[in-house]
């Protein structure tokens, strides 16, 4: 796998670290939000922050699809699995995320609900084809990267006349979130997040291209550098964003040119447009209702829409009060600011989605970076 | 594993205590596992006197799929149990095996499993001395489950245990990590992918014996099975009340395993092994042990991967290939069910 090692080379990282250290201005800070959980994990897993100057700070963004799913939608999925006699198919990450009162799909499964972990939408389709007497619901979550596979499944289900397959769509859109983060007003307890720029999504951008971020970059005057998930990508992008900030530019730049183009994958975009349409508004965990930020199935595919097929009961969903996931997703707090972190909330007993997902900031911090807290504060995390 | 209709299969009578069961025992179990103790054919095996302290370890095997590249549940059951006994520094001698068979399981497959069990036992120089067979109705099992118990003797003077690591000692591993887990994954029904990776399933008692001859003062031996190297290092750090510092570039890893893990979003350090051991020894013994390991077929890629440190929080840290530092943590939750 030469492709992997090439982007993790120690000597190259040392050169980049030197370049960044030389170019940062000592009298200011650089507060950069890495949008994606994939970036967050690369930063922690490879120890990227050890190579960055002290005045460059990574702020962890909301780009973790499991994390931003509002608790009500998860409660709905648990209801579908338990009360509607369906086979609920979900990506693995979703299984352990706590819903209201720490309920989860995994707990529903243990109680007897038929919840199955799938790696691909086509696995869910196969389960539907193999179980013609059961309704099969695919719990669709994710940003623009996972939407095309869901669209493929819906189209295939229609072509095959699979009347027992439907999709519970929670697909969300990245560019809308960038604006929402910067628009979120502060409170006396929680001042608004101060950011100097964004490391933009990598895989999402392979689908949508770099253009959709231009409006946000111009409106908010914040540079955006689209970057890959390898540690050298992140460092190269950090250097590019430092240069933009130093030169007073706020452009959308593309570090991830080996995969991402300005226009993205038009075929995938067309597929998504054929099957999905914009929702007027959708709730994001931590960011609240964001207009035009999510997708639902078009009327022409209404037969495959689980929200139309099943009568999902309205419910009073509640977050754990002291869980700081919402603030962490807004970038205003870090994992260590949460009273539950590492004590009651651990990957084994998560209180919030950020501790569960392999892309969540708390999970990254807990699994890879916990020792830093011990070093700096001399306490056991 | 559901056989074709014309294939001979396990029936409820195979566990019923009658002639059908007797024939199963004779035709399959005794045929492939026989030794002077098993052929006593009593309720228990009468074993000869031994001197020294005894070590006993038990293991249940529920792996899916039953047959995988590099072995099957039968060879795995022997290797797993032999290794648990060997990790105490003991010489494994006897194994018991209890089979839970599902009605409808093809007899050919069962024979193949028992045959590899016999081969594995002979290679590891242990005897399956007693056993049991039960049959459950179709749908109440998953082909075959095997429970094994191993007994061995340990020489006086050895003091090996997870609580014996002290700061300054060296940490070694006998070869590449993650092979078993990735080999199993590649054959999972919903995940099949092409890979040349075969399980590392192997009995490690021969290697351990060579290592102990060279360095009887070895402090810790442990096989990083479920939870992978990460779990094993954290277990030892916790038991011994120490920290560890590992160097990522020293951990042997096959490119194909690395590639599969990248693709599936898994960390090879969390992936199960069935033919690996972690050894912690005094720093001055490390090079000598390494060359002993290199000379053994199961230690050709052995490596000194790090050292034991002082750390009141018992954290396992790793300097990454990239030049940074991170923790190696326990695996959270269940990554790959039924891996052994």
Question: What are the tokens at A255?
Answer: 């570090």
Predicted pLDDT at B264 = 81
Chain B: closest CA distance from residue A108 (Å):
16
Q: Given the structure tokens 């479920």, which residue do they identify?
A: B226
Alpha helices in A131-230 (DSSP H): 147-160, 174-183, 203-208, 214-220
Q: How far apart are CA A213 and CA A207, in angstroms?
A: 13
Q: What is the C-alpha separation between B221 and B54, in angstroms, rounded?
A: 17
Q: Are B280 and B308 within 8 A, CB to CB?
A: yes
Closest CA to B57 of B150, B166, B172: B150
Report the residue from B315, B322, B327 with minimal CB separation from A10: B322
Alpha carbon distance B269, A109 (integer Å): 28
Chain B CB contacts of A17 under 8 Å are 323
Tell me the C-alpha distance between A35 and A58, whole Å.
10
* Pairwise CA distance, residues B245 & B328, whole Å: 9
Q: Could you give the CA distance from residue A128 to residue A87 in angstroms, rounded to a whole number?
A: 8
| Secondary structure E strands in A44-134 | 56-63, 86-91, 114-118
In this structure, what are the phi and psi dihedrals at residue A91, rounded to the nearest 5 degrees?
Answer: -65, 150
- Would you state the pLDDT for residue A92? 85
B contact set with A (CB within 8 A): 190-191, 255, 258-259, 262, 265, 312-313, 315, 317, 319-327, 329, 332-333
Of B259, B313, B322, the CB nearest to A13: B322
**Please, are residues B92 and B86 in contact by the beta-carbon 8 Å criterion?**
yes
pLDDT at residue number A220: 95
Smallest Cβ–Cβ distance between B326 and the set A47, A346, A380 belongs to: A47
User: What is the helix (H) or strand (E) element at residue B246, kind and residue range?
Assistant: strand B243-247
Alpha-carbon Rg for chain B, nearest whole angstrom, is 21
The whole-number average pLDDT for the span A306-312 is: 97
- Say whether A348 and B329 touch across the interface (CB within 8 A): no
Distance CA B181, CA B199 (A): 7
Q: In chain A, which residues touch B (CB < 8 A)?
A: 1, 4, 8-10, 13-14, 17, 44-51, 96, 118-119, 123, 231-232, 346-348, 358, 363, 366-371, 374, 380-381
Calculate mean pLDDT across residues A160-175: 96
Q: Confidence band (pLDDT; 50, 70, 90) for A380? A: very low
* Helix (H) or strand (E) run with residue A370 in it: helix A370-377
> Which residue in the block uniquely carries the two structure tokens 């040349």?
B196
Which among B191, B320, B327 has the least Cβ separation from residue A370? B327
The pLDDT tens digits for B169-203 are: 999 999 999 999 999 988 876 666 777 899 999 99
- A119 phi and psi angles, rounded to 5 deg: -100, -15
pLDDT per residue as tens digits for the range A132-166:
999 999 999 999 999 999 999 999 999 999 999 99
Q: What are φ and ψ of residue B123, in 5° steps?
A: -60, -35
**Closest partner CB to B317 (pick from A45, A348, A371):** A371
Tell me the mean pLDDT in the region B131-155: 96
- Mutate which of B197, B255, B322 to test chain A, going by most A C-beta atoms within 10 A? B322
pLDDT, mean of residues B38-66 = 94
Residue A342 pLDDT > 50: yes
- Got the DSSP string for A306-333? HHHHS-PPP------TT--HHHHHHTSS
CB contact under 8 A, B190 and A51: no
CB contact under 8 A, A47 and B190: no
* Helix/strand/coil for A198: strand
* Length of chain A (residues): 381
Range B211-239 average pLDDT: 97
Chain B CA closest to residue A363: B332
DSSP letter, residue B106: B
Checking if the pLDDT of B116 tops 80, the result is yes
**Ordered domains of chain B (ranges, CATH):** 12-154 (3.30.1330.10), 170-327 (3.90.650.10)
Give, as one character, the DSSP assignment of residue B191: T
- Verify cis geometry, omega within 30 degrees of 0, for the bond prior to B42: no
Q: What three-state secondary structure class fits A190?
A: coil
pLDDT digits (tens, 9 = 90+) for A19-74: 999 999 999 999 999 999 999 999 999 999 999 999 999 999 998 989 999 999 99
Residue of B248, B265, B317, B327 to mutate when probing chain A, most A C-beta within 10 A: B327
- Of B181, B146, B232, B145, the closest CA to residue B70 belongs to B181
pLDDT at position B333, please?
Answer: 63
**Could you report how far apart the first and last alpha carbons of chain A are, in Å?**
36
Contact (CB<8Å) A10/B259: no
Buried b (16+ CB within 10 A) or exposed e, A314-331: eeebebbeebbbbbbbbb
Given a contact cutoff of 8 angstroms between Cβ atoms, the answer to whether A244 and A218 are in contact is no
Distance CA B274, CA B174 (A): 12
DSSP 8-state secondary structure symbol assigned to residue B25: I
pLDDT tens sequence across B153-162: 999 999 999 9
Q: Do A367 and B320 touch (CB under 8 A)?
A: no
Show the tokens assigned to B229: 């190297």
Provide the percentage of residues in chain B whose pLDDT is more than 90: 83
Reply yes or no on whether the pLDDT at A261 is more than 80: yes
φ, ψ at A375 (rounded to 5°): -65, -45
Single pTM value for the model = 0.85
pLDDT value at B2 more than 60: no
What is the reported pLDDT for B189? 62
Q: What is the pLDDT of residue A6?
A: 78
pLDDT of A217 over the 90 cut:
yes
Cα(A256)–Cα(A259) distance, integer angstroms: 6
Distance (Å, whole) CA A44 – CA B83 = 35
Q: Are B320 and A46 within 8 A, CB to CB?
A: yes
Nearest-Cα distance to chain A for B81, in Å, is 28
Judging by DSSP bridges, how do beta strands A224-226 and A197-200 pair with one another? parallel
Assign B4 a pLDDT band (cuts: 50, 70, 90): very low
| Chain A to chain B Cβ contacts (< 8 Å) | 78
* Cβ <8 Å between A368 and B313: no
Distance CA B174, CA B303 (A): 6
Question: Phi, psi (5° rounding) for residue A142?
Answer: 125, 165
Residues B278-293 pLDDT 10s:
999 999 999 999 999 9
Q: Percent of chain B having pLDDT more than 70?
A: 95
3-state percent breakdown (helix, strand, coil) of chain A, nearest 5: 45, 20, 35
Q: Which of B218, B209, B266, B274 has the alpha carbon at shortest distance from B69? A: B274
Residue B20 Cα, gap to closest chain A Cα (Å): 36
Contact check, Cβ <8 Å, A367/B327: yes
When pLDDT is cut at 50, 70 and 90, the band that residue B339 belongs to is low
Return all residues near B120 (Cβ < 8 A) that are at least 6 apart.
B74, B75, B78, B79, B203
Q: What's the distance, Cα to Cα, between the start and end of chain B in Å?
A: 17
* Cα A279 from Cα A233, distance rounded (Å): 33
The tokens describing B215, both together, are: 């360095």
DSSP A135-146: EEEEEEEESTTT
**A270 vs A136: CA distance, rounded Å:** 26
Q: Do A261 and A209 touch, CB atoms closer than 8 A?
A: yes
Distance CA A35, CA A179 (A): 12
pLDDT in the model for residue B336: 55
Given a cut of 80, whether residue A374 has pLDDT beyond it is no
> What's the pLDDT at A7?
80
Q: Determine, for residues A45 and B320 on separate chains, whether the beta-carbon distance falls below 8 Å.
A: yes
CA angle B217, B311, B240 (to 5 degrees): 40
Residues in chain B within 8 Å Cβ distance of A14:
323
A-chain CB neighbours of B191 within 8 Å are 119
- Give me the mean pLDDT over the A185-197 stretch: 90
Residue A323 to residue A192: CA distance in whole angstroms: 18
DSSP-derived pairing of the beta strands B243-247 and B303-309:
antiparallel
ipTM attached to this prediction:
0.76
Q: What is the DSSP letter of B37?
A: T
CB contact under 8 A, A13 and B323: yes
Cβ contact A368–B329 (<8 Å) = yes
Give how far B263 is from chain A: nearest CA, Å. 11
């Amino acid at each position: 796998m030469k492709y992997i090692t090439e982007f993790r080379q120690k000597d190259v990282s040392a050169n980049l670290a030197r370049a960044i250290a030389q170019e940062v201005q000592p009298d200011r800070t650089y507060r950069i939000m890495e949008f994606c959980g994939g970036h967050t994990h690369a930063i922690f897993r490879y120890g990227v922050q050890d190579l960055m100057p002290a005045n460059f700070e990574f702020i962890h963004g909301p780009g973790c699809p499991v994390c931003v799913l509002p608790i009500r939608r998860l409660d709905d999925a648990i209801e579908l699995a338990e009360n509607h006699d369906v086979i609920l198919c979900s990506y693995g990450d979703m299984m352990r995320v706590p819903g209201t009162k720490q309920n989860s799909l995994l707990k529903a499964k243990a109680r007897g609900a038929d919840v199955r972990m799938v790696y691909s939408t086509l696995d869910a389709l196969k389960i539907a084809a193999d179980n013609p007497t059961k309704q099969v619901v695919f719990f669709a979550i994710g940003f623009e990267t996972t939407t095309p596979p869901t669209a493929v499944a819906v189209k295939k289900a229609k072509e095959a006349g699979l009347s027992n397959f439907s999709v519970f769509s929670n697909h969300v859109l990245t560019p809308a979130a960038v604006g929402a983060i910067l628009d979120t007003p502060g409170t006396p307890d929680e001042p608004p997040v101060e950011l100097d720029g964004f490391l933009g999504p990598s895989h999402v951008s392979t689908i949508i291209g770099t253009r959709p971020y231009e409006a946000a970059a111009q409106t908010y005057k914040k540079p955006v550098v689209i970057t890959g998930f390898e540690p050298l990508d992140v460092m190269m992008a950090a250097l590019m964003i430092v240069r933009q900030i130093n030169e007073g530019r706020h452009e959308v730049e593309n570090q991830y040119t080996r995969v991402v183009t300005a226009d993205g994958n038009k075929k995938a975009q067309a597929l998504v447009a054929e099957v999905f349409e914009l929702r007027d508004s959708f709730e994001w965990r931590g960011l609240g209702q964001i207009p035009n930020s999510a997708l639902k199935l078009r009327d022409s595919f209404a037969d495959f829409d689980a929200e139309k097929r099943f009568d999902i009961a309205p419910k009073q969903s509640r977050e754990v009060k002291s869980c700081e996931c919402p603030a962490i997703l807004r970038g205003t707090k870090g994992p260590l600011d949460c009273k539950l972190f590492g004590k009651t909330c651990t990957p084994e007993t998560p209180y919030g989605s950020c501790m569960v997902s392999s892309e969540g900031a708390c999970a990254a911090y807990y699994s890879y970076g916990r020792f830093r807290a011990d070093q700096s504060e001399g306490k056991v995390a | 594993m559901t056989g074709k209709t014309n294939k001979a299969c396990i029936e409820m009578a195979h566990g019923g205590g009658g002639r059908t069961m007797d024939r199963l025992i004779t035709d399959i179990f005794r045929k492939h596992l026989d030794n002077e103790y098993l052929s006593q054919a009593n309720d228990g095996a009468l074993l000869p006197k031994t001197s020294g302290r005894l070590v006993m370890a038990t293991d249940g095997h529920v792996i899916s799929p039953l047959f995988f590249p590099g072995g099957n549940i039968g060879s795995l059951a022997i290797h797993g149990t032999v290794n648990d006994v060997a990790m105490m520094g003991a010489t494994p001698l006897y194994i018991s095996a209890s089979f839970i068979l599902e009605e409808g399981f093809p007899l050919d497959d069962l024979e193949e499993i028992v045959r590899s069990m016999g081969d594995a036992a002979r290679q590891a120089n242990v005897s399956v001395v007693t056993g049991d067979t039960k049959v459950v109705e179709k749908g109440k099992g998953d082909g075959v489950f095997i429970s094994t118990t191993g007994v061995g003797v340990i020489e006086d003077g050895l003091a090996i245990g997870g609580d014996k690591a002290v700061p300054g000692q060296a940490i070694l591993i006998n070869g590449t990590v993650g092979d078993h887990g990735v080999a199993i994954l590649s054959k999972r029904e919903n995940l099949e992918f092409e890979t040349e990776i075969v399980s590392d399933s192997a009995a490690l008692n021969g290697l351990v014996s060579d290592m102990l001859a060279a360095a009887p003062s070895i402090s810790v031996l442990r096989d990083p099975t479920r939870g992978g190297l990460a779990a094993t290092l954290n277990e030892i750090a916790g038991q011994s009340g120490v920290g560890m510092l590992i160097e990522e570039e020293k951990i042997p890893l096959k490119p194909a395993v690395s590639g599969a893990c990248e693709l599936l979003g898994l960390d090879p350090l969390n992936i199960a092994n069935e033919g690996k051991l972690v050894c912690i020894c005094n720093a001055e013994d490390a090079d000598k042990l390494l060359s002993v390991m290199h000379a053994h077929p199961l230690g050709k890629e052995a490596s000194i991967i790090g050292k034991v440190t002082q750390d009141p929080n018992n954290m396992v840290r790793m300097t990454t290939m990239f030049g940074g530092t991170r923790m190696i943590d326990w695996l959270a939750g269940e990554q790959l069910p039924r891996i052994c």
